[in-house]
Structures are given as C-alpha cells and as structure tokens.
Amino acid sequence: MNDVRITAGGAMEDESSRRFVDAWRRAGQGETFHERHLVFESWEALARILSGKRMELLRYIHRHNVTSVRALAKALNRDYSNVHADVQALANAGLLDSANGTLRADYDAIETRIAI
C-alpha cells in the first residue's frame, strides 16, 4: 500500500529527524520503500489545503484516469477556474502529481497526525 503521511503542528523538526533516522536504518538493512511525508505548521494550514471539495477532487483523480483540468472540472460539474486553483494548491502541497498532461493521486490512503 502506498500512503501519504501528514503531520500538522507539534515539533516538526523532531518528527522529521525521527523519520530520517528510521529511513536510514531501514535502507541500511537493505529494505526498499517509498514513503511520502508532508508537514504543515498547524491544523489551520492543513485545513486550508484539504477542504471538502479538494478531498472530493483527490478521490476522483485516484479512481479515474484524468487527462486535463478541464476534463476534471466537467466530470465534477465544477467551475474550471476553481478546479484549476484546487489542482494547483494540491500539487504545490505535494498531494497531486501532474506528469505528461495527466493528473495522478498515486496513493491509497492519507494518514494524518495532528499534534496538540
């Protein structure tokens, strides 16, 4: 399973250091792995990126072959400019990939850890 792990708030430096040491140890043991970690400074910063409409967009892209933002807007019955802005925000956050003209959300789950 290919997942994205998101951390919001808390001691970001400690979490990043822990992940680096863990990855170094696993690689030293010959383990091959692919992980994607995203860190947001706060719950509010995460909520600005992962709105309900954007989650709907990610789910659609994960399940369908999407060749353009225009096709995505039409499939979701949404305004093109709003979908374009959502795609840009998700791509900038690392949650969406666009290569060769196609949009991809190549992960099976988003796991979120919110520090208090």
Q: Which of 4-8, 52-56, 63-67 has the lowest mean pLDDT?
A: 4-8
For 58-77, what is each residue's pLDDT tens digit?
A: 999 999 999 999 999 999 99
Of 8, 21, 3, 32, nearest to 114 by C-alpha is 8
β partners of residue 37 = 5
Per CATH, the number for 3-114 is 1.10.10.10
* Chain-centroid distance, C-alpha 33: 17
Helix (H, G, I), strand (E, B) or coil at 68: coil
Domain definitions of the chain by residue range: 3-114
Quote the radius of gyration of the chain (alpha carbons, Å): 16
For 33-48, what is each residue's pLDDT tens digit?
A: 666 777 788 888 888 8
